Amino acid sequence: MRTRRALALAGSALALSVALTGCSALNGILGGGAGDADRDEETGQVTESANIDIFSLKLGDCMMEAPSGLLEDIDVVPCAEPHDQEVFYEITMDDGEYSEESIDTATQECIGEAYTSFVGVAYDASTLEVYPITPTQQTWDELNDRVVQCVISDPAGQVEGSLKGAAR
């Protein structure tokens, strides 16, 4: 039952992120967006809270849930501070024609071995939730966007530190 819910969640999240990520593409094209956060030179981790353009979001970033639910700009924070979500895995799609089906298939990695390796338990046995941030047709064609980002959160509320190894 959880797998069916996960797949439905992933499909819904894919549709949502496809619809909403396009907004950030328009902001980027039109000059919007806040750029990137201050990062540690060695680790690349965010060192100060910042509002960044969604295309500046990186693997390992911890972020706040967007109040509007739209993924345009996003507030990132150091992972040691309370936060809502974390980018735990990235998939780089092969070049070629945009394919929503291929992207949807790739998002299944978010709840597969990548999830189990990161959290320490399989998605089916976990209480944590996941959604993907995906390229849209527009970002694929105009911005060479090929990255699917897997985002994890705890439905019980904010966390401090990474969910890596949380085993729940």
| 56, 140, 67, 58: CA torsion to nearest 10 | -30
Cα distance between residue 55 and residue 144, in whole Å: 11
Q: What is the 3-state secondary structure (H, E, C) of 117-134?
A: HHHCCCHHHCCCEEEEEC
- Predicted local confidence at residue 70, as pLDDT: 65
| 69, 72, 78, 84: CA torsion to nearest 10 | 10
Residues 82/160, Cβ–Cβ less than 8 Å: yes
> How much is the pTM?
0.79
Residues 74/63, Cβ–Cβ less than 8 Å: yes
- Predicted local confidence at residue 148, as pLDDT: 98
- Predicted local confidence at residue 134, as pLDDT: 96
- Predicted local confidence at residue 137, as pLDDT: 96
- Predicted local confidence at residue 106, as pLDDT: 98
- Predicted local confidence at residue 131, as pLDDT: 95
Beta-carbon contacts of 19 under 8 Å, excluding residues fewer than 6 positions away, are 136
Tell me the pLDDT tens digit for each residue of 106-129. 999 999 999 999 999 999 999 999
pLDDT above 70: percentage of residues in the chain: 77
- The stretches in the chain having pLDDT less than 50 are 1-33
